[in-house]
Structure 1
Amino acid sequence: MAVGILGTKLGMTQVFDETGKAIPVTVIQAGPCPITQVKTPETDGYSALQIGFGETKVKALSKPELGHLAKSNSAPLRHLIELRLDKPPTDYELGQALKADLFEAGQLVDVIGTSIGKGFAGYQKRHNFKRGPMAHGSKNHRAPGSTGAGTTPGRVYPGKRMAGQMGNEQVTIRKLIVVRVDVDRNLILIKGAVPGKPGALVQIMPAKKVGR
């Protein structure tokens, strides 16, 4: 039963394959992630694992949070997530640590992270709108153009693509290839870029869609 893992994006580098071809990779510090709660249909109505990542100070957590982590003999953890499962988790137990050896080279994975925030951005940068005429008399270089009809409906429809906050949102990149796994140092090298800046929290899951 395949589950995911939490990690920290360390940055990007390159490695070389057997033919000498350079492969751009993202290095992720994956785990160890202790299992802090095991949910079953009998106790919670569904199957899931709760895992944690990133130790923090005791004073950063509340007493209920510390009491919850004490049940699995876990250190104070900064992040907790829940992984839904299709069937009861018989292969995992409370307090077990999930490490980088969950994955292997050549495997396809989905990576979930928070994209880099770019602040308030305009139409061209945010939505790839075309510019207006650049002639001397034009006053519509980077303006939005029409945002809708006049009397009817007399308003701008929700979801209209306009200028605004760009980035800083959850992004999932699907079907990335695991190039290398360093079990001793809990490092996973994934081909290409993943969301977020160095130091950002990422979640690695076995790919859900493996077809073309």
Structure 2
Amino acid sequence: RRTGAVAIKTGMTCDWDARGTRIPLTVLWIDDCEVVAAKTSSGADGYDAVQVGYGSRKPKQVTKAELGYFVRRKTNIKRALCEFRTSADGVLAPGTAITAAHFAAGQYVDVQGVTKGKGFQGPMKRWGFSGQPASHGNTKKHRAHGSIGQCQDPGRVFKGKKMAGRMGGRTRTVQSAYVYKVDTEKNLVYVKGQVPGNAGMAVKIRDSLRK
């Protein structure tokens, strides 16, 4: 079980196959990804994992505590850190660079990111409700969800009831995404299909657990 990488979602593009079918692709840029720390099951942490950082920052852009964290490990200052659980033989030494060559075209990966925030939305947009009648006596309740209650027993609204509320902004994972192409010169990974999040947001990409 290998470590993953942190990539920046730069946007989407497309390609065409021999039959002329359009193939949607998401472009992921692995920006200066580097191993910052390693954890082993035999050490104080008690489990095998690799801490990966991406991007770069100036010393004046971080606190003294954050600066000391990178100085003690003799690595470059990173924009953010994340951790990947690995097997014992998959732990990499701090300072190891992770590039687009870490992945290969034709393999499957899991991509995790934060979905786009939609703000406060009604039940029709948030949950796909059909809504209420447009006429025949209905007034000012066309997009409302309707009754949410029970009878006197249980006399309450169950937890998890689908209602209006904040939509988006949640961590989601696209499993078994197909790696269409890898550009080692520009550190780009082209993944078939969509990936959660806005353009410019960081996503975690690692080998698929199901394939």
TM-score by length of 1: 0.92
Structure 1 position 89, deviation (Å): 3.6
Unaligned runs of 5+ in 1: none
Residue 193 of structure 2 is matched in structure 1 by 192
- 1: CA distance, partners of 2:172 / 2:77: 27
- 2: CA distance, partners of 1:58 / 1:155: 54
Alignment map for 1:36-185 (pairs within 5 Å): 36-43=36-43, 44-89=45-90, 92-139=92-139, 140-185=141-186
Give the secondary-structure state (helix, strand or coil) at the position aligned to 1:135: coil
Contact 2:113/2:195 (CA < 8 Å) preserved in 1? Answer: yes
Residue 3 of structure 1 is matched in structure 2 by 3
- 2: CA distance, partners of 1:88 / 1:41: 11
Structure 1 position 19, deviation (Å): 4.8
Q: Which amino acid aligns with 1:123?
A: P
Q: Deviations over 1:165-201 (max 9, x none)?
A: 0001111111111000001110000111111111011
TM-score by length of 2: 0.92
Unaligned runs of 5+ in 2: none
Q: Does 1:13 align with 2:36?
A: no
Structure 1 position 31, deviation (Å): 3.5
How many residues align structurally?
209
